[in-house]
Amino acid sequence: MKRVVLFVPVLLLVLTSLAAGQSRTYTVDDLLKVRRVGDPRISPDGRRVAFTIGDVNFTANRVVTQIYVTSIDGGDELKRLTSGESSSTAPRWSPDGKKIAFTTGGQIWVMDHDGDNKEQVTKISTGVANPVWSPDGKWIAFTSDVYPDCNNDDCNKKRGEQAESSKVKGRLVTRLLYKHWDEWRDVKRTHVFVVSSNGGTARQITTGDWDSPPYAASTGVDYAFSPDSTEIAFLRNPDKVEAISTNSDIYTMNLASGATKNITERNRGYDAAPIYTRDGKQILYRSQATAGFEADRWRLMAYNRATGTSVELTKGFDLQVEGVVLSPDGNSIYLTANDRGKEPIYTIPIGGGVPRKLVNNVFATNLQISSDGRKLVFASSSIAAPAEIYVMNTNGSGLKALTTVNAELMARAKLRPAEEVEWTGAMGRKIHGFIVKPNDFDPNKRYPLLVLIHGGPQSAWNDSWSYRWNPEVFANAGYVVFAPNPRGSTGYGQQFVNEISGDWAGKVYVDLMNGVADVLRRNSFIDRNRIGASGASYGGYMVNWILGHNNDPRARFKTLVSHAGVYNLESMYGTTEELWFPEWEFKGPAWSNPAMYSRWSPHKSAQNFNTPTLVTHGELDFRVPVSEGMQLFTALQRKGIDSKMLIFPDEGHWILKPQNSQLWFNTVLDWLEKYLQSPNPQSSSRAH
């Protein structure tokens, strides 16, 4: 392990010099210059929009985010409200519009609407996140990770200091889901608090040895005040074994009496994102009906507080409901849903119905509505353009950009928009995806093809900007990039999503390989002898599967890149954290259905491996543990196949730190160049 760790800084120097001599027209260095715009929030008077911009501090190896404001009508210059070396995030307007709450340094602060008079609200030792104002402006709710057996902050502070100073770092674990993504969850629990908006001692609303919101089920800020500020809705999972349960329920609590009620106990799937209607009569929420299936269709539900019953408002809508906002008059609901790589905005009446699409050619996130009900504000991006803030009328007209933070930078980049493609996959089903070409594309030249396989597997390649697997960085290193959405991808109906479970390399593999063959057949500018594939997580799994089945007449891959890829399904089951996932995908634990785990496990085909492969992984990856990458690398090395492994001790499932991201991109691109760009790549037999 020490050899790998020490290799990283040395490799960084080598790659920096190599990258300087390569003709890449849009590089990871350009990507790191992009300003990260997001989290728009409309002021109560409907005149201004607060939002955040994150800038890469390469020396500090992190992104620093600050808060800005602009007019909702556009045209005004942006005004920066916060500054400093620490990030300021989550701007939230007070109900009267005079103040903005935000988080910085792990605490909640408030400032005047123009950025003046900043005052600290919380002083809690365990830190805070996600502030939410009560409608009367008297309270702010937030979450904090605390010791469940502590009943005050002094206790939490003492326990934290003892743990930090102790030389003993051993962990005594007594339950599952003791770690998640990239952190240990064996001691502390997430709970909801409220604090006076004027500051003071925070009151812990939820208590006990469970999380609120459930750590694995949270879909954002999953708590909300009632319109009269007397009640709060929050999430928790009532099931004993959290690692095998997606049963996130919504509870309501009377803030005066503490009386609590589970309003979704009849549903065994996820329930999340409660929103009270303006009249207080209903609570809207997103819900999945199927227990244990995290990729089930997200429905929009309405709970009647008087009758205690829930109804679905989006019956017959075969897409996943994402962001939801209510019109001020209480008559309309606006929502977003992923559809064929886009995230359009829809509207339905408060009583439900078939969603009507207002605007299609956007990838809308952070949807907000003005207090007069006339305007919608959201962030939107594409594969060729990073996110900016947009505004449009609630009837779908008047779409325009409020910010152009990256306009000059992207004008110089001259990135080509993604092109949509479609082909016939398994069982005659039409499959959809994207092609991305270099900005200096010449149809008379011959280009290598790079196939990017998305993770999930219940996810999708969307026409949206990415700071991780950015197709433009790969395309402008001299590739035609193919980003397919095979079986399991979202945005094509729930049945399409369902058809990958229990069939991880069946129909989806046919979809992918038919897609590669179709792209080759239709585009004479692609060299069929220079094809590579890269993927992460499930995408890494499929790369590993291709590694053992690289004799398909439709396409032969010359080299592969596997990041955080699932390799051995049996060992993956025993070391991952969210056990409901493999138990749904492979129909039970590894010991109860060994035939399916064996059938679809890439490691079973190691005898067929013969393709040069780069393996990358993060040591803090608890979703697909680093042992999966190590097992793959061991097999490659023992078989004498040209291979390298890049491991990051300080990264999890994603490579996020700027310097690490630079190293990752350059390592991958140098590996691909060796086999797909160089005329006669030199294959070494084995690295020692």
User: For residue 4, what pLDDT is reported?
Assistant: 37
Provide mean pLDDT across the span 485-506.
Answer: 98
Determine if residue 165 is left, alpha or beta; phi over 0 gives left, psi from -120 to 50 gives alpha, anything else beta. alpha
Residue 426 half-sphere exposure toward CB, CA atoms < 13 A: 17
Contact of 418 with 400, CB cutoff 8 Å: no
Domains defined for the chain, CATH in brackets: 2-28+413-676 (3.40.50.1820)
- State yes or no: pLDDT of 687 exceeds 70: no
Asked which of 355-364, 489-498, 649-658, 674-683 is least confident by mean pLDDT, the reply is: 674-683
Longest dimension (CA), the chain: 76
pLDDT-derived band at 678, boundaries 50, 70, 90: low
Identify residue 455 by its one-letter amino acid code: G
- State yes or no: pLDDT of 9 exceeds 60: no
- State yes or no: pLDDT of 688 exceeds 50: no
Provide mean pLDDT across the span 255-265.
Answer: 97
User: For residue 404, what pLDDT is reported?
Assistant: 96
Q: Give the contacts of 322 (CB within 8 A, at least 6 positions apart).
A: 298, 335, 336, 337, 338, 343, 365
Chain segment 454-483, per-residue pLDDT in tens? 999 999 999 999 999 999 999 999 999 999
CA torsion sign for 646, 650, 656, 660 is negative
| Percent of the residues in the chain that have a pLDDT greater than 70, as a whole number | 94
User: For residue 59, what pLDDT is reported?
Assistant: 96
Provide mean pLDDT across the span 554-577.
Answer: 97
Chain segment 13-72, per-residue pLDDT in tens? 444 434 433 579 999 999 999 999 999 999 999 999 999 999 999 999 999 999 999 999
Identify residue 241 by its one-letter amino acid code: V
Taking the C-alpha atoms of residue 473 and residue 481, their distance in angstroms, rounded to an integer, is 10
Taking the C-alpha atoms of residue 603 and residue 8, their distance in angstroms, rounded to an integer, is 27
pLDDT-derived band at 76, boundaries 50, 70, 90: confident
Residue 4 CB: number of other CB atoms within 10 A? 16
DSSP class of 27 = -
Crossing angle of helices 2-20 and 658-676, in 10° steps, is 70
Provide mean pLDDT across the span 263-284.
Answer: 96
Q: Give the contacts of 680 (CB within 8 A, at least 6 positions apart).
A: none
Strand order across the beta sheet in which 79-80 lies: 36-42, 48-57, 62-71, 79-80
Backbone phi, psi, residue 616, to 5°: -130, 150
DSSP class of 363 = B
Alpha-carbon separation of residue 413 from 24, 121, 388 (angstroms): 11, 43, 16
Provide mean pLDDT across the span 645-673.
Answer: 98
DSSP element (H, E) containing 539? helix 538-547
Taking the C-alpha atoms of residue 76 and residue 654, their distance in angstroms, rounded to an integer, is 36
DSSP element (H, E) containing 513? helix 507-522
Crossing angle of helices 538-547 and 507-522, in 10° steps, is 80
Exposed, middle or buried: residue 235 (CB in 10 Å: 0-12, 13-18, 19+)? buried
pLDDT-derived band at 1, boundaries 50, 70, 90: very low
pTM confidence score = 0.94
- State yes or no: pLDDT of 683 exceeds 50: no
Tokens of 546: 């291709």
With tokens 């402006």, the residue in question is: 137
Provide mean pLDDT across the span 591-606.
Answer: 98
Taking the C-alpha atoms of residue 366 and residue 569, their distance in angstroms, rounded to an integer, is 36
- Looking at 340-493, list the stretches that DSSP marks H as alpha helix, in order from N- to C-terminal side: 407-413, 471-475
pLDDT-derived band at 410, boundaries 50, 70, 90: very high
Chain segment 201-215, per-residue pLDDT in tens? 999 999 999 999 996
Helix, strand, coil % over all residues of the chain, rounded to 5: 20, 30, 45
Q: What is the dihedral of CA 649, 653, 657, 658, to 10 degrees?
A: 120
User: For residue 216, what pLDDT is reported?
Assistant: 54
User: For residue 571, what pLDDT is reported?
Assistant: 97
Provide mean pLDDT across the span 402-414.
Answer: 97
Taking the C-alpha atoms of residue 635 and residue 647, their distance in angstroms, rounded to an integer, is 17
Chain segment 81-130, per-residue pLDDT in tens? 999 999 999 999 999 999 999 999 999 999 999 999 999 999 999 999 99
Q: Give the contacts of 134 (CB within 8 A, at least 6 positions apart).
A: 95, 140, 141, 194, 225, 229
DSSP element (H, E) containing 423? strand 419-424
Contact of 177 with 243, CB cutoff 8 Å: yes
Average model confidence (pLDDT) across the chain: 94
Exposed, middle or buried: residue 209 (CB in 10 Å: 0-12, 13-18, 19+)? exposed
User: For residue 15, what pLDDT is reported?
Assistant: 42
DSSP SS3 for 67: strand
Provide mean pLDDT across the span 234-246.
Answer: 95
Residue 518 CB: number of other CB atoms within 10 A? 20
Provide mean pLDDT across the span 323-332.
Answer: 96
With tokens 């190599």, the residue in question is: 18
Which residue in 90, 85, 96 sits closest to 61, CA to CA? 85
User: For residue 218, what pLDDT is reported?
Assistant: 53
User: For residue 2, what pLDDT is reported?
Assistant: 35
- State yes or no: pLDDT of 602 exceeds 70: yes
Q: Give the contacts of 370 (CB within 8 A, at least 6 positions apart).
A: 42, 46, 72, 376, 377
pLDDT-derived band at 685, boundaries 50, 70, 90: very low
In this predicted model, which residue has the larger pLDDT, 443 or 683? 443
